[in-house]
Amino acid sequence: MTRFINTHSHVNMLKTLSPDIAVRNCIENDITIIVPSSSATDIFEVDNFVKNHENTYGYVGVFPEEVKGFTDKTLSDMENIIKNNPKIIGIGEIGLDYYWDKTYIDLQKEVFIKQIEFANEMNLPLNIHSRDAHFDTLEILKKYNKNSKAIMHCFSGSLEFAKECIKEGIYIALGGVVTFKNGKKAKQVAKEIPLEYLLLETDDPYLTPVPFRGKENQPMYVKYVAQEIADIRKTDIDDIAKITTQNTLKIFPQIS
């Protein structure tokens, strides 16, 4: 069976479908899931979830919209979780988001930098959220990231921005948007970037791919993302699965 790795799935947040069933579906289809955190409290939920679910791994980190809840204790909590759970394999999702609220941009930057430096200390990869903040996100990574591999999660930028990221060794993760009719930028990125920098994700329960638009997303739908990329590149889905799995294992050798 062809193996897939879904590098970003909020499977623990599913409502319509039981998270337990969603994980079981992935196990049956040889799909490994990495589950991100979003807040200073959510890190404990993700820690517990991946401990108790086969074929899942996790990130700990505080999402841009949740940075007001970030304290120095958050970092010590994250460190404690990492040291006690080998299935926590990265820092995320962290980054910048100027789409919803621009009143606390400076705090977003400050917390982003602290988490990058923490990831460097822990020698763990970064899972990056960047929305309407591409220039600042990349500039901060260039300045502060010393040794952590980085993933641009749910990539929403242009092909030109993707190329700038790749120059810095940053991986590009594509999700359901690449299947949308109006997902022109994502389709162009999928077609043009070097395959050795491509990763797969779903960001479920959000951004459900075609043909399930309007329904709750789930991690198993990563296959539809892979199929769309294969069609765009005029290749086979097994080729996309193989190269993206190899890429992911380069970033996360802890995944068995």
- Give domain status of residue 24, yes or no: yes
Cα distance between residue 163 and residue 159, in whole Å: 6
- Give domain status of residue 128, yes or no: yes
| Structure letter (DSSP) for residue 219 | G
For 39, the domain range is 4-251
Considering its fold, how many domains does the chain have in total?
1
Walk along the chain (256 residues) and give the pLDDT tens digit of each residue: 799 999 999 999 999 999 999 999 999 999 999 999 999 999 999 999 999 999 999 999 999 999 999 999 999 999 999 999 999 999 999 999 999 888 999 999 999 999 999 999 999 999 999 999 999 999 999 999 999 999 999 999 999 999 999 999 999 999 999 999 999 999 999 999 999 999 999 999 999 999 999 999 999 999 999 999 999 999 999 999 999 999 999 999 999 8
- Give domain status of residue 155, yes or no: yes
Domain CATH code at residue 202: 3.20.20.140
- Give domain status of residue 15, yes or no: yes
- Give domain status of residue 256, yes or no: no
- Give domain status of residue 55, yes or no: yes
- Give domain status of residue 47, yes or no: yes
